[in-house]
């Protein structure tokens, strides 16, 4: 393996700590990732040396801050293949990015009764509830793709689901529960043929896969900094510039205006139009550093490492008696997020016993309750991997599951 995971791990201070007397085995990166010292150092240096508000000052600190902030925007634009930094809007997380789009497109398209918005049963609540509320506000109808038994998007109803009434299609690119990577090309092509706009929730894909928005087939995508080695408090909306230019603002306030009188306001061009108030400056700069770190290792290499780990994990879990895996059974078209059930033991109890052994997995509905309902379970246990995950950690997980079965045997 050319990917040197042990060297990578040295960049992450948290791996020095123990949990309950065991070395930390962090298998919850789909929830939030750990942060390398390179990212933390850039943020700290900014706060100690260059801190000033952006876009508002002619003074040196303000200019330096603005350059660092806009520099981060430019590097993130390059990272995802955007045509211009102006296509990158900073938000606080994916969730805000999706809400921004739901509100702004709803207004731009004058959504109303008879119009349809299409999502899927595989969505994270953050790409589900904003569309439910949009439909409630406007009278539009929400429709959705189902999930097949092996955890893939069920395209059987494509022709009836996407039709001349469809205005927006918003789908998860990689499922945070099943690990499925959705190839949306057929859906996007059909949506486009009816003039519908296509959004992808890339919260789980941008951190793990090489993404190029020029060829992805989406008009808009959302992702979030804390899942890709960056800090909390920063997310990204990418949109085609000509589309962003037509979209009305969502949050309003300082820095998104052109001119203001008490009687009325005109708005700045994107991305400023969508960045009301003081943005998460240090956090954007931190995300820029995260993108540098990821680029340094290479997204292709990272993805390859995760495929190897996932293959190993699928094998290991399959050989634990009583374990049932949800989602694709092989690494084809799936990422390093594996949810499973341990027969007769509630996920909460599974998670608790694993934690006692230092193994950190997530349990619950993973903010995607309809996925749990689809597979008729109230909750699942999920192990999720990243560039720093090792096969030894998968072994620790498997040993932990043996322990679980002993306690509840």
Partner 1 sequence: MMLDGLYQEIILDHYKNPHGRGLRDPYDGEAHHVNPTCGDEITVRVSHDLNEISYDGVGCSISQASASVLHELLQGRDAAAASEIHHAFVELMQSRGQVEADEEILGDGIAFAGVAKFPARVKCALLPWMAFKDAAARAGVEVGVSPEVKA
Ligand X SMILES: Cc1ncc(COP(=O)(O)O)c(C=O)c1O
| Active centre residues (catalytic) | 367
If one asks whether residue 372 binds partner 1 (CB under 8 A), the answer comes out as yes
Could you say whether residue 353 binds partner 1 (CB under 8 A)? Answer: yes
User: What is the smallest separation between the CB atom of 222 and a copy of itself, expressed in angstroms?
Assistant: 10
Q: Report which DSSP code applies to 48.
A: I
Instruction: State yes or no: residue 408 binds partner 1 (CB under 8 A).
Output: yes
Spatial distance between the Cα atoms of 73 and 160, rounded to a whole number of angstroms: 39
- Residue numbers at the binding site for ligand X (CB under 6 A): 93-95, 124, 126-127, 172, 176, 201, 203-204, 224, 235, 254, 277-278, 367
Residue 304 engages a copy of itself in binding (rule: CB under 8 A): no
Q: Which does 315 bind (CB under 5 to 8 A by kind): partner 1, a copy of itself, ligand X, none?
A: none
Report, in Å, the least distance between residue 234 CB and partner 1.
22
The nearer residue to a copy of itself, 125 or 303, going by C-beta atoms, is 125
* Structural contact between residues 281 and 54, judged by C-beta atoms closer than 8 angstroms: yes
Quote the tokens at residue 338. 């594996």
| 112 is a site residue for a copy of itself (CB under 8 A) | no
Residue 55 interacting partner from a copy of itself, partner 1, ligand X, none (CB closer than 5 to 8 Å by kind): partner 1
Q: Which does 289 bind (CB under 5 to 8 A by kind): a copy of itself, partner 1, ligand X, none?
A: none
The torsion of the CA quartet 13, 16, 21, 25, rounded to 10 degrees, works out to 70
**CB of 126 within 8 A of CB of 201?**
yes
Neighbours of 373 (CB within 10 A): 12
Among 23, 52, 62, 71, binds partner 1 (CB under 8 A): 62
Torsion sign (Cα): 389, 391, 396, 401 = positive
Helix, strand or coil for residue 223? Answer: strand
What's the start-to-end Cα distance of the chain, in Å? 38
269 part of the interface to partner 1, by CB under 8 A? yes
Distance, in Å, from the CA atom of 145 to the CA atom of 118, rounded to the nearest integer, reads: 8
Pick from 154, 306, 335, 130: which is nearest to 222 by CA?
130
Contact call for residue 20 and partner 1 (CB under 8 A): yes
* Residue choice 74, 251, 257, 320 for contact with partner 1 (CB under 8 A): 257
Q: Judge if the upstream peptide bond of residue 271 is cis by omega within 30 degrees of 0.
A: yes
Residue 263 or residue 321: which is nearer to a copy of itself going by CB?
Answer: 263
Q: Which two tokens stand for residue 325?
A: 């895996």
Tell me the C-alpha distance between 289 and 296, whole Å.
10
Selected range binding partner 1 among 9-17, 61-69, 180-188, 288-296, rule: CB under 8 A: 61-69
The answer to whether the peptide bond before residue 103 is cis (omega within 30 degrees of 0) is no
- Quote the DSSP letter at residue 19: E
* Nearer of residues 54 and 314 to a copy of itself, judged by Cβ: 54
Among 222, 379, 383, 396, binds partner 1 (CB under 8 A): 379
361 binds a copy of itself (CB under 8 A): yes
Q: How many CA atoms lie within 13 A of 97 on its CB side?
A: 29
* Shortest separation between residue 211's beta carbon and partner 1, angstroms: 25
Residues forming the site for partner 1 (CB under 8 A): 20-21, 55-58, 60, 62-63, 66-67, 86, 257-259, 268-269, 272, 346-349, 352-353, 355-356, 363-365, 369, 372, 378-379, 407-408
């Amino acid at each position: 393996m050319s990917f040197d995971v042990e060297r990578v791990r040295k960049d992450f201070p948290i791996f020095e700590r123990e949990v309950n007397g065991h070395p930390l085995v962090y298998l919850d990166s789909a929830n939030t990732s750990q942060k390398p010292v390179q990212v933390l150092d850039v943020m700290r240096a900014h706060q100690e040396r260059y801190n000033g508000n952006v876009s508002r000052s002619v003074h040196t600190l303000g200019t330096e801050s603005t350059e660092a902030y806009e520099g981060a925007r430019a590097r993130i634009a390059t990272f995802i293949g955007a045509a211009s930094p102006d296509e990158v809007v900073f938000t606080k997380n994916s969730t805000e990015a999706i809400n921004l789009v739901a509100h702004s497109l709803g207004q731009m398209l004058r959504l109303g009764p008879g119009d349809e918005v299409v999502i899927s049963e595989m969505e994270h609540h953050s790409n589900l509830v904003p569309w439910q509320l949009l439909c409630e506000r406007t009278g539009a109808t929400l429709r959705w793709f189902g999930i097949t038994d092996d955890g893939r998007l069920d395209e059987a109803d494509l022709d009836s689901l996407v039709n001349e009434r469809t205005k927006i299609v918003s789908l998860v690119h990689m499922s945070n529960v099943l690990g499925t990577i959705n190839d949306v090309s057929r859906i996007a092509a059909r949506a486009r043929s009816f003039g519908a706009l296509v959004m992808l929730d890339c919260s789980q894909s941008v951190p793990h896969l090489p993404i190029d928005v020029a060829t992805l087939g989406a008009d808009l995508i959302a992702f979030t900094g804390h899942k890709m080695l960056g800090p909390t408090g920063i997310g990204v909306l990418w949109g085609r510039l000509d589309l962003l230019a037509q979209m009305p603002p969502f949050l309003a306030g300082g820095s998104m205006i052109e001119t203001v009188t008490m009687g009325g306001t005109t708005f700045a061009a994107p991305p400023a139009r969508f960045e009301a108030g003081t943005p998460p400056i240090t956090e954007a700069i931190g995300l820029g550093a995260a993108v540098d770190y990821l680029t340094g290792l290479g997204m292709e290499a990272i993805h390859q490492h995760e495929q190897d780990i996932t293959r190993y994990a699928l094998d290991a879990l399959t050989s634990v008696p009583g374990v049932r895996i949800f989602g694709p059974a092989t690494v084809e078209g799936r990422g390093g997020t594996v949810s499973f059930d341990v027969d007769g033991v509630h996920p909460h109890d599974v998670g608790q016993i694993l934690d006692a052994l230092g193994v950190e997995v997530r349990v619950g509905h993973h903010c995607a309750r309809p996925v749990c309902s689809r597979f008729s379970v109230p909750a699942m246990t999920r192990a999720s991997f990243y560039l720093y995950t090792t096969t030894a950690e998968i072994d620790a997980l498997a040993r932990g599951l043996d322990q679980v079965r002993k306690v509840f045997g």
